[in-house]
């Protein structure tokens, strides 16, 4: 089972590799990736340094081109495919069928992974992408229960990858329209749920207000942690006092079901968090490296260490973790 960790910077990549990542994934500094924030991601030169650093240590590098081009900016995505291929990366993570088609035609030697943004939730969907675009691995959306993951893995013609730890949203991979409705820029083709140009923080008598394009997303008291404002995790007044209407701040942690994922045949565990600091990457990678090694050595005896759980809980949104859709055993 491969441990795939995030890299929002060269330092983050080096940290992930130093603490046990088998592979790292990164994006370019443009809207072709789903973490398009100022100061984040890689120039072509930095990406080249990253690939050289990783390959010298027998680790793999994946580049995420996991947003959707539009008619007026297709060249940006096309050029990103060309740059990625010329860097001798180990895989390109793609979501758009046009991008897949271009990569297959012009760079047939380039290994392709199906992004979670493609929302392939069945073995039949995965088979289509494999047969049509030679996809080698599919990242499963976070809407599947563990029973559904088991069925998909059993019938999938290719490798599968699932998320192990990190932030959650309302889990409509590649289909969310919330921030597009509020800002006019969609995370699906711009690459950010809350583009920085629309974010405003204001101290008021009622507390610290977070707004997105003028829309009040949340208000925090002095003793509350203030998260980055996203529409899905805002507090709103709906038939009563303000509360989390769509989704509470919480992080996925699938560590307790790691043996089940191994038994299902999952090929890789993915850690979310390219927007997080190298310190976060170091701590999460270290825990998951130790956990995977322990589980693979004796899956039947595996039990998460209390220290692992405490460490991940401290790094989670709202200091809360969940199994998310994995725990929907009725599905």
DSSP string, 90-106: SEEEE--HHHHHHHHHH
DSSP string, 108-129: TTS-EEE-GGG---SHHHHHHH
Give the pLDDT of residue 302. Answer: 96
Is the separation of the CB atoms in 238 and 246 below 8 Å? Answer: no
Question: Where does the chain hold its CATH 3.20.20.70 domain(s)?
Answer: 2-168+250-327
| C-alpha to C-alpha distances, 97 to 157, 158, 269, 308, nearest whole angstrom | 19, 18, 24, 39
Q: What are 117-155's pLDDT values in tens digits?
A: 999 999 999 999 999 999 999 999 998 999 999 999 999
Q: What are 151-177's pLDDT values in tens digits?
A: 999 999 999 999 999 988 776 777 788
**Measured distance CA(190)–CA(176) in Å, rounded:** 12
Q: What are 259-289's pLDDT values in tens digits?
A: 999 999 999 999 999 999 999 999 999 999 9
What does the pLDDT average to over 217-221?
Answer: 93
**Measured distance CA(284)–CA(163) in Å, rounded:** 13
**pTM as predicted:** 0.93
Class of domain 2-168+250-327 as given by CATH: alpha beta
Nearest CA to 294 among 325, 264, 244, 255?
Answer: 255
| C-alpha to C-alpha distances, 107 to 16, 83, 101, 320, nearest whole angstrom | 28, 11, 10, 43
Is the separation of the CB atoms in 253 and 316 below 8 Å? Answer: yes
Round the average pLDDT of the chain to a whole number and report it.
Answer: 93
Is the separation of the CB atoms in 265 and 153 below 8 Å? Answer: yes
Burial-class residue 314 by CB neighbours within 10 Å (0-12, 13-18, 19+).
Answer: exposed
């Amino acid at each position: 089972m491969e441990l795939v960790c995030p890299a929002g910077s060269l330092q983050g990549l080096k940290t992930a590799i130093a603490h046990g990542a088998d592979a790292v994934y990164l994006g370019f500094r443009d809207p072709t990736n789903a973490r398009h924030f100022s100061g984040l991601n890689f120039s072509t030169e930095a990406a080249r340094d990253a690939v050289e650093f990783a390959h010298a240590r027998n680790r793999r590098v994946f580049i995420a081109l996991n947003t959707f081009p539009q008619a007026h900016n297709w060249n940006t995505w096309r050029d990103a495919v060309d740059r990625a291929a010329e860097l001798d990366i180990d895989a390109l993570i793609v979501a758009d069928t046009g991008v897949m088609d271009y990569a297959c035609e012009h760079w047939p030697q380039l290994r392709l992974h199906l992004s979670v943004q493609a929302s392939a939730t069945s073995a039949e969907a995965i088979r289509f992408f494999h047969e049509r675009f030679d996809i080698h691995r599919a990242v499963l959306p976070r809407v599947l229960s563990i029973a559904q993951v088991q069925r998909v893995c059993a019938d999938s013609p290719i490798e599968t990858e699932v998320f192990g730890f990190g932030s959650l949203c309302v889990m409509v991979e590649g289909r969310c329209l919330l921030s597009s409705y509020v800002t006019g820029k969609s995370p699906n083709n711009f690459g950010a749920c809350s583009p920085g140009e629309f974010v405003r923080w204001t101290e008021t008598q009622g507390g610290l207000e977070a707004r997105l394009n003028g829309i009040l997303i949340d208000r925090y008291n002095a003793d509350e942690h203030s998260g980055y404002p996203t529409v899905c995790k805002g507090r709103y007044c709906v038939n009563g006092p303000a509360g989390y209407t769509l989704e509470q701040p919480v992080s996925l942690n699938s560590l307790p079901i790691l043996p089940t994922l191994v038994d299902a045949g999952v090929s890789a565990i993915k850690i979310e968090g390219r927007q997080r600091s190298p310190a976060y990457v170091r701590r999460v990678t270290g825990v998951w490296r130790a956990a995977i090694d322990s589980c693979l050595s004796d899956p039947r005896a595996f039990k998460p260490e209390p220290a692992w759980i405490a460490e991940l809980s401290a790094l989670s949104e709202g200091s809360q973790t969940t199994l998310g859709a994995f725990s929907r055993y009725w599905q």
